[in-house]
Amino acid sequence: MERVRGRAYSHDLRLRVLAASDRGMSARQIACTFGVSISYAIKVRQRRDRTGEVRALKPRQVQVRRLAGLEETLREQVARKLDATLLELCAWIEREHGVSIGRTALWRELHRLRLTLKKRMARPVRKGETGWHLGLHQRIRSQDIGPGQDGICAPQAL
C-alpha cells in the first residue's frame, strides 16, 4: 500500500492565517476560525518570521524503491528457491545485483509483489492426524525419510 501525502493549504488561506496572526489573534483562535491545526498556525508564522517565505514548500521527492526493475528477477528467484529465507534472498540480491537491502524492506517488496516464502513442513505426522497432514506424511514416506531423519523427532504421546 502506498502512502498518500497530504496537499499544502492554498496560498490564499496561508495569507489569511498570516494576516490574522498580524492582527494579534492567537494560534488557537486562528485554528478555530480557519479550520486549520494550531501547529499549522504557529509553523506558518514561524517560517515567515525566520525566512520571509510565505509560499508552501515544494512537495518532497518520492523515494525510489531499491528493487525497482528487479521484480521479474525476484519472482523467478523465489519460484526457484521456495525455501529461501529473507536473509538468503538479501545476500543473493547483493551478490548478483549489487543492491544492498534490509530484511524488512525485502519483506515489504515481496508483500507488494504478493510473493510468499513458505517452508515445507518436513517432520512426521502424529498418529490420528488427517487432512493435509496425511498428504505430507505420504510425501515424506515417498522420499524414504524415516521419523527423526530430518533432524526433528516426532512428539511422544503422553
User: Which DSSP string do the residues of 23-78 spell out, in sequence order?
Assistant: TT--HHHHHHHHT--HHHHHHHHHHHHHH---SPPPPPPPPPPTTTT-HHHHHHHH
Q: Is the pLDDT of residue 109 over 70?
A: yes
In sequence order, which residues have a C-beta less than 8 Å from that of residue 15 and are 6 or more positions away? 54
Q: Is the pLDDT of residue 75 over 80?
A: yes
* Mean pLDDT, rounded, of the chain: 79
The least confident of 84-98, 103-117, 137-151 is 137-151
Q: Is the pLDDT of residue 88 over 80?
A: yes
Classify the C-alpha dihedral 61-9-15-31 as positive or negative: negative
- When pLDDT is cut at 50, 70 and 90, the band that residue 82 belongs to is confident
pTM above 0.85, yes or no: no
Cell of 149: 531423519
- When pLDDT is cut at 50, 70 and 90, the band that residue 95 belongs to is very high
